[in-house]
Structures are given as structure tokens and as C-alpha cells.
Structure 1
Amino acid sequence: MNIAFIPVRGGSKSIPLKNIKEINGRPLVYWTLKAAEDCNYLEKIYVATDSTQIKKVVEDFKFSKVIVIDRSEEVSSDIASTEAVMLEFASKYKFDNIVLIQATSPLLQTQDLDRGFEIFNKKEIDSVVSVVRQKRFNWEIKDGFAVSTNYNIYNRPRRQDFEGYFVENGAFYITSKENLIRFKNRISGNIQICEMSEESYFEIDEPADWIIVENLLRQHQNVDRLDIKLLATDCDGVLTDGGMYYSDSGSELKKFNTLDGMGFELLRNLGIKIAIITGENNSLVKRRADKLKVDDIIFNQKDKLQSMNDLCEKYNITLQQCAYIGDDIFDLPAIEKVGLGCAPCSALDIVKQKANFVTNKKGGEGCVREVAEYIIKRIDGGNL
């Protein structure tokens, strides 16, 4: 059984009762609870607190998976470690795997937890830690002088060519109960990372953090309330797995997924237009588009944003009323400008970083259906 564990103390010196202080219209702890509640990998969510005020606020959310438990005085002090709270919990409750979630990371999304568990479930992985990629040039003092530690000062890389490095963002940590007790640590053994969006770097520790995170939450909320009139998608790497297949006679073949066809149909039922924009000119794609009753198919187009602008003019809508799914560099301008930019989990890292929504499924494995469901859930009156 997979469970989430969220420790929330009543005592906070920098921001009194910050875990239930309202941020963007909701108590702080609500945001991580909502992300965990919607995670299919989690059966139960335990909130450990020493505060009756926090207990009441959390219980009033009426989340189906959430259980509020007490934490002892010994592990509720300023000097008590998070591991001490986790170990106290582990000694009293049954579970197989645990994800520690920090309430001070409200930018955590359900899809982040889903991807974290998918990584954790891989062979030989003992723990997963959430991280963000930073592209900063680091220095240290050595023998009295400043020395760069992660780049050559005589060959300064451009930001887009700099891979950067990973930093813990404190959002979540996954491990097994067995390893938690054995190593007395939130992560151990063979550790893997789960990369989250760059903005999730921010945690709420000080009042200044509050201002930054609240603005970011507002942006997220604007995305959550969708008014989508058109969904456009790239073909290879989204509708297909990007592979190149050939028959014995040398004819090119492509692998499509029936789940995506149903996704298109669900959106059409809501009056949403469907378009495919591809850099190819392939009869296979044309036949597939015809079968799916796609409204528009645009061939030989690498400038996806230009095509999106043309479609907006055709249907008298704005880019903010469009969703776009892509997996490669040519898709980036469109992903950045539309109301909902999406990418399959198999997309390039830079594309996933810029997308508003990253699917759990790879290209060709039903990722478009996943986007369709995401849109439908966020349209007023939309039901699956």
C-alpha cells in the first residue's frame, strides 16, 4: 500500500500558523492535499499535526483519502527532525511505501506525484526525490580566490546549451517503509530524481516566499479554468511513438493509438475543433486524420505558431482559447503562447519544462486522450 505523509506543525515562527494561512483563496496545506488526493498511486493520505486548529481545517476539506493523526510533543518541537516524525508514524501504522510531502510546496501537481511513483516502481530504484533543474554558474573560494565550479570561464556556455544541475525543491520524497526504518532517512539506497517545473523551486519559508508563490498559484489557477475552443497537436512523437517502421515491401508504417481517437471524439462532443499540424506530408497521416474526423490538417509546417495563428483567425478565437500538444523544438513557440501548452512525458526536457501540462503517457500510447480528459475536467459543465 502506498501512502502519503504530510507533517504540519502548529508552531511557525516566521509565519504564524502558516500551514493553514490562506494563500490564493485556500489554506496553504490544501494545495498539496489536493495534489495527493488526485494521485491514483495513493490509497491514503496521513496529515500529522499537533494543532487542533489545523486538524479542523484539514477535516473540513472532506477529502476522501485524508486521515488526520496526532503527533507527539517529542516530535513537534522546533528542533525535531522530519525523520523523527516519520519514524514515529512508521512505528504505529501499516504501509508498504511512503511519500513525504511538504505542505510548504503548494506548486506540487498530481502529475508530479504520478511520475514520481512511476520512477519509484522501476527495477532497482529504492527512493525518489523531487528536483528542479537550475542553470546558474556556481563559484567557491579556494586558496583565497574565487573559482568556478560548474563551467569553464573561458568557454562560457549559452543558457540553452547549458545542461545545468539538479537541486532538491523539497516537494516530495518516496521510499519504502522497510528502508525508512532501516536507514532512518527519507531517502536511501539507489536514488532516482523526478524533475519538476522550474518554478516549483520556490518553497514557503519566509514572508517574501509567500508573495512569489501566491502569484505563481494564481497563474496555475488561470490555467485550471480553461476555455478551450481548439486542440491542435503534432503527429510524430504525440499521435505516434516517433518510431519509423517499414513493411517487407519498403512501405512506411506508423503506429497510432485508439485511445487518442476517443479523446478527439470526446472533445468534438463539446464543440472543440481538432487540428493536426505536422512537418511531414504523409498519406498515412491524412488517412488517420480523415478517420478521426479532424477539422484541420496542416502539412509541411515547421512553424507551428504561425499555423496556430492562422487557425485562430479562421475560427475567430484567441491563442488563449487553444491547446497545443508537442514533443520537439519546433513545437516550443506554440506551447509557450497557447492557453494550454502540453507535452507527452517522452518529449524533450526543454519542451516539458515549458509545458503547462505533461502527460503520464508517452507519445503513441494515449497521451492525447489524457490531455482531452484534462481539458474536459476543467471546462464548466464538462463531464467524462
Structure 2
Amino acid sequence: MTVLAVIPARGGSKGVPAKNLAAVGGVPLVVRAVRACQAARLVTDVVVSTDDAAIADAARSAGAEVVLRPAAIAGDTATSEAAVLHAMDAYSAMRGRTADVVLLVQCTSPFITAEDVDGVAGSVAEDGADTALTVAPTHGFIWRQDGPAAVGGPDGYGVNHDKSNRPRRQDRPQEYLETGAAYAMRAEGFREAGHRFFGRTALVPTDPARVLEIDDPHDLARARALAPLLDPAVLPVHDDIDAVVLDFDGTQTDDKVFVDSDGREMVAVHRGDGLGVAALRRAGLELLILSTEQNPVVAARARKLQVPVLHGIDRKDLALKQWCDEHGIAPERVLYVGNDVNDLPCFGLVGWPVAVASAHDAVRAAARAVTTTPGGEGAIREIAAWLLGPGLSTSHTTPHNTLDK
């Protein structure tokens, strides 16, 4: 049985510009949706429907096929159903076969899981439902208000309860909130009906804690704050990475500066980080130190580590993009380590944005992984252990080494 997952991801979002490329947990929303579908047991094919070249590139890099959506069904008034029907036709033309079950999976639900996707797909493909959707159990009292009352404004009334007689939670029937995350339809019936609900509809309960739809910047901020709590801990390994790019202050140091009576500045670095960098270099990974600071200590540390350095850089993201182009490195294969808000543009560029434990809250929220070790105390050694295995354990601390600025 062919189960086709269609992910609509147009480029023209008004509430959050470039929303479908916004990163949550260090991963663009469209890529999160693709990965959830790819991990589902029942999904055989994943297609992203888009009118945007950058979204198309991100989807292809994640392993999805791309259907370019015509402008007529890519505007603000276009329906998701229209995008799915167009993608089904394009898929049939590409593959020479039709889908038996089609899924609509929304990028705007960042915490959708493979289990959610399999839940709706299985309801149709295995259990005989015509349609299915993810829902969240709710016991909330729903209210509505209608037209102006004679005195004092609109009158509020209960939708799922009588406000004069409110039963206890255990005495009320279970109700469900549509999450907007995933839908499944029998493909033939969907073509006939032209909408996602027909015949027998199965409700697939999901974890209410994961229910969040991103419609405005506040939703995006909440999703980024929740990602470290809801996302499974996934650390990169050597096969994921071609290059490691390191910020300096606050990442290789503790962000403190020592100033003597003559105005000379010094910083402290960790010898364990030096061992980690040496191991990464021996493993054949490309390395770079990238810093906004124009200080002799940055160049001195880079010489000590035998790592190329770009410092005194105002736009670190532009410098990083140019460096990747010059070295033939795909940005999605780069691990970038940072600690402060000036690292966020680079986080949006690379596939593995990593924050040190002492990083700014906004940086930790945007990271795909966070070290347990603060900057300047062996965080780079810890990352080297992620990539190269437990032979580079960070369990033992080593003395600090002080460099003059």
C-alpha cells in the first residue's frame, strides 16, 4: 500500500515571515515535519509542496521529494486541500502510480512525532477509517458570546456546558481538540469529496503537552523555549559533520576578561578543549575559529591549535557562508558552536547549531544540541566526544591555560 505524506510549505507567510524555514530546536520547521514523516512506519513517500526555492532546497536536503506549487494555489486564500490534490497529481506523474492513502502534515506543528503520523495513517490504511486526524483530549469549558445584550454588552454562554449547572470533570463526556498537525484520507475518497473529512472519521489522541501551532512570533518563541524539554536528546556523530566552526569568547573561554594595572587583557582557555580540537583535526574534519573580536589572543590561540581563524568579523553568517562556498562544504554539514546572540545568524545557516551550557537563553533555545559543560570549561572537548566517541571523555577536568591578549 502506498501512503503518501504531503507537507504544504509555501513561502509567503504573513504572521511569521519565512515561517516554514524558522528553526525550532535548531531545525527548520519544514525539516522537522519531513523527519517525522520519514520516521513513521507506514509512510512510503514524503513530498513537500512549495513555491519557495529555499524551502525546496531544505526539503530536498532532508530527503523529501519536492513538488513546485503554482502561484494560483500558493496565495493567502489557497486551501491546504488544493495543495494536497496538486501534489497527488504531481506524485502520480513522477512515480507512475497513485497513492492509496494520502496524509496532510503541517509544518506549523513543530512537535509532531512519527507516532502521530503513524496513528492517522494506520487508522485509514489498517483500521478501515475513511479519514483521521490528530486530536488532544480536553476537559475545558468552552464559552461563546453573542450580540450586544440590552444592558452591559455581549452575553457569554456555555457551549459545552450549562453555566447554571456545571458538572464535575469526571461527569462530563470526553471532548477533543483538533491539533492541526496531521490528517489522513483514503485517496480515492479525498478526490471525490474534495475535502479532508468524509465517511467515517477516526480521532487519534496525542499528547496535549505537544500541541502548539505556530501562527505568530509569540508561538515561535514558545516553541523554541519548549524544544529542549520536548525534543528527544539527539547528539551529532562524525558521519553527520564535515566541519566544526568555533566561536571564541564565551565558547572557548568563560567570557571573562582579566585586566592588569597597565590595561593589558588576558583570558583563560581550557587545555581539554585543545585536546578535543586536536582530535577533531586528526579525524579529518575541517575546522575554523570565527570571532567578532579583533584581538591578538584569538590569533594566538588559533596558532596554538593549528586552526584557521577569521576574526574582527561583523557579519559572521556572511563570512561563514563564504568560507563554506570556498571549501565546498554544505552548510547543513557544519557544526557551529556559539554562546551569544551574535551567533544566532550562523545558527540559522548550519545544520548543527550547538550552544554551550552557559549560553544566552535565546541561543540555547535556538540550538539543536546543548553541551552540559559551560564555555571555557571543556565544552569543545565534550563536543569532540560526541563526534568521536567515549575515548574523549570529559569526565576529568584539566588545568586552565592563560593567554595574554
Structure 2 regions of 5+ residues with no counterpart?
A: 93-97, 150-154, 236-388, 391-405
**163, 186, 204: which one pairs with 2:214?**
204
In structure 2, C-alpha distance between the alignment counterparts of 1:102 and 1:2, rounded to whole Å: 16
Structure-1 residue corresponding to 2:229: 219
SS in 2 for 1:105: coil
In structure 2, C-alpha distance between the alignment counterparts of 1:13 and 1:154, rounded to whole Å: 42
After alignment, is 112-121 or 138-147 more displaced? 138-147
Residue 210 of structure 2 contacts residue 230 of structure 2 at CA under 8 Å; is this kept in 1?
A: no
Residue 116 of structure 2 contacts residue 182 of structure 2 at CA under 8 Å; is this kept in 1?
A: no
SS in 1 for 2:109: coil
Residue 174 of structure 1 contacts residue 187 of structure 1 at CA under 8 Å; is this kept in 2?
A: no
1:133 aligns with 2:137: yes
Structure 1 residues 162, 103: CA separation in 2 closer, same or farther (over 3 Å shift)? same
- Structure ID, larger Rg: 2
Residue 3 of structure 1 contacts residue 98 of structure 1 at CA under 8 Å; is this kept in 2?
A: yes
Structure 1 residues 122, 23: CA separation in 2 closer, same or farther (over 3 Å shift)? closer
1:43 aligns with 2:44: yes
In structure 1, C-alpha distance between the alignment counterparts of 2:161 and 2:72, rounded to whole Å: 45
1:104-253 equivalent positions in 2, closer than 5 A: 104-141=108-145, 144=149, 145-153=155-163, 155-159=165-169, 162-221=172-231
In structure 2, C-alpha distance between the alignment counterparts of 1:199 and 1:20, rounded to whole Å: 23
SS in 2 for 1:125: coil
SS in 2 for 1:132: strand
In structure 1, C-alpha distance between the alignment counterparts of 2:9 and 2:134, rounded to whole Å: 19
In structure 2, C-alpha distance between the alignment counterparts of 1:122 and 1:60, rounded to whole Å: 31
Cα distance, 1:109 vs. partner? 0.5
TM-score by length of 1: 0.54
In structure 2, C-alpha distance between the alignment counterparts of 1:192 and 1:208, rounded to whole Å: 31
Structure 2 letter corresponding to 1:80:
A
After alignment, is 115-124 or 31-40 more displaced? 115-124
Residue 15 of structure 1 contacts residue 207 of structure 1 at CA under 8 Å; is this kept in 2?
A: yes
In structure 1, C-alpha distance between the alignment counterparts of 2:61 and 2:219, rounded to whole Å: 26
Structure 1 residues 22, 223: CA separation in 2 closer, same or farther (over 3 Å shift)? closer
Structure-2 residue corresponding to 1:274: none
In structure 2, C-alpha distance between the alignment counterparts of 1:96 and 1:102, rounded to whole Å: 20
1:68-87 equivalent positions in 2, closer than 5 A: 68-87=66-85
Q: Select the structure with the greater relative contact order (CA < 8 A; seq sep ≥ 6).
A: 2
Residue 104 of structure 2 contacts residue 184 of structure 2 at CA under 8 Å; is this kept in 1?
A: yes
Structure-2 residue corresponding to 1:55: 56
Structure 2 letter corresponding to 1:112:
D
Structure 1 letter corresponding to 2:186:
S
Structure-2 residue corresponding to 1:11: 12
In structure 2, C-alpha distance between the alignment counterparts of 1:139 and 1:26, rounded to whole Å: 37
TM-score by length of 2: 0.51
Cα distance, 1:215 vs. partner? 2.1
SS in 1 for 2:231: helix
In structure 2, C-alpha distance between the alignment counterparts of 1:142 and 1:206, rounded to whole Å: 27
Residue 31 of structure 1 contacts residue 106 of structure 1 at CA under 8 Å; is this kept in 2?
A: yes
In structure 2, C-alpha distance between the alignment counterparts of 1:72 and 1:30, rounded to whole Å: 21
Cα distance, 1:139 vs. partner? 2.3
Percent of counterpart pairs with the same letter?
A: 27
1:96 aligns with 2:100: yes
Cα distance, 1:122 vs. partner? 4.8
In structure 2, C-alpha distance between the alignment counterparts of 1:215 and 1:159, rounded to whole Å: 30
Structure 2 letter corresponding to 1:190:
R
Residue 11 of structure 2 contacts residue 51 of structure 2 at CA under 8 Å; is this kept in 1?
A: yes
In structure 2, C-alpha distance between the alignment counterparts of 1:69 and 1:157, rounded to whole Å: 50
Cα distance, 1:166 vs. partner? 1.1
In structure 2, C-alpha distance between the alignment counterparts of 1:45 and 1:187, rounded to whole Å: 21
Structure-1 residue corresponding to 2:34: 33
In structure 1, C-alpha distance between the alignment counterparts of 2:134 and 2:201, rounded to whole Å: 11
Residue 10 of structure 2 contacts residue 50 of structure 2 at CA under 8 Å; is this kept in 1?
A: yes
Cα distance, 1:182 vs. partner? 0.2
In structure 1, C-alpha distance between the alignment counterparts of 2:174 and 2:217, rounded to whole Å: 28
SS in 2 for 1:91: helix
Cα distance, 1:34 vs. partner? 1.0
Cα distance, 1:159 vs. partner? 4.4
In structure 1, C-alpha distance between the alignment counterparts of 2:198 and 2:111, rounded to whole Å: 25
After alignment, is 166-175 or 118-127 more displaced? 118-127
In structure 2, C-alpha distance between the alignment counterparts of 1:49 and 1:31, rounded to whole Å: 15
Structure 2 letter corresponding to 1:196:
T
In structure 2, C-alpha distance between the alignment counterparts of 1:85 and 1:206, rounded to whole Å: 22
Residue 31 of structure 2 contacts residue 58 of structure 2 at CA under 8 Å; is this kept in 1?
A: no
Structure 1 regions of 5+ residues with no counterpart?
A: 226-379
Structure-2 residue corresponding to 1:294: none
